[in-house]
Amino acid sequence: MIAGTQNVKQLLPYSFLLGSDRMRIPRIYQPSELVVGQTCQLAEDAANHVGRVLRMQVGQAIELFNGDGNNYAAKIIEVGKKTVLVQLDDCRQNPVESPLRIHLGQGISRGDRMDFAIQKAVELGVAEITPLFTERCGVKLDAERAEKKREQWQKIVISACEQSGRSVVPNVNPLQHLDKWLAQPTKELKLTLDPWAKDTIKTLGQTNAVRLVIGPEGGFSDGEVQQTQQAGFIAVQLGPRVLRTETAALTAIAALQLQLGDLATANPIKE
């Protein structure tokens, strides 16, 4: 046992303290204030998942999170046709967020590629996502449909947090055009991908915040490449192979987490 293990355990998620029972306790997102010692009625989506999909019963344990970085141990005390009531028993800080904050600007792709990229980006620790309209994105959405898409992607983010053990929920920003996003003032290290770039992620200096822009299927146009350069984005390459847009995003995020984040950090739970 390493020094300080007892202190570390005080910060671990409730489910991690249950040994072999850990995997049998569902993690559920509950978008409301959570107070230990009080009861809580689960939101409609959460209640449906717990009551109808998982068919959980009174007395069973679940783990809730609301985006504040904590995990809340809870026990089901009532299950109705459309409602589930739980008792909040404990609150623990969840130490799984990366020290590297990545804001992903992702060119919008067709079909389920965008869904996949967002889901896996969250699993890899991305902190914020902005879907971007680009010249080659091939997706046309009016304001109403764009908002519905954003809401759909936010649900994918929540589901990815439930699965991956995160208790801070990344925000999916409103869809916007590439030029407006590039022009936003920021102190983040700004990166874009270019297979002919001289720099790689290994050559980057230390930073705790990155703004990463990824093109859509077909990549950026020449004009958009110039826009990224004029906005101060550093071009880096990911090796000799040509990657699809969703693969490029996830490869870049994984490489950044390995070089600057916590992808290779020892897991205190396993020590």
User: Would you give per-residue pLDDT tens digits along the chain (271 residues)?
Assistant: 333 333 434 444 545 444 444 447 999 999 999 999 999 999 999 999 999 899 999 999 999 999 999 999 999 999 998 899 999 999 999 999 999 999 999 999 988 999 999 999 999 999 999 999 999 988 889 999 999 999 999 999 999 999 999 999 999 999 999 999 999 999 999 999 998 899 999 999 999 999 999 999 889 999 999 999 999 999 999 998 889 999 999 999 999 999 999 997 766 555 4
| 97-108 as b/e: b if 16+ CB within 10 A | ebebbbbbbbbb
Q: Could you tell me if 181 and 228 are in contact, meaning their C-beta atoms sit under 8 angstroms apart?
A: no
Instruction: Report in angstroms the alpha-carbon separations of 98 from 41, 92, 102, 209.
Output: 31, 17, 9, 10
Domain ranges of the chain: 5-93, 101-260
**Residue found under tokens 């304001």:** 143
CATH, range 101-260: 3.40.1280.10
pTM as predicted: 0.88
CATH assignment of 5-93, given 1.10.3720.10, 3.30.505.10, 2.40.240.20, 3.40.50.620? Answer: 2.40.240.20
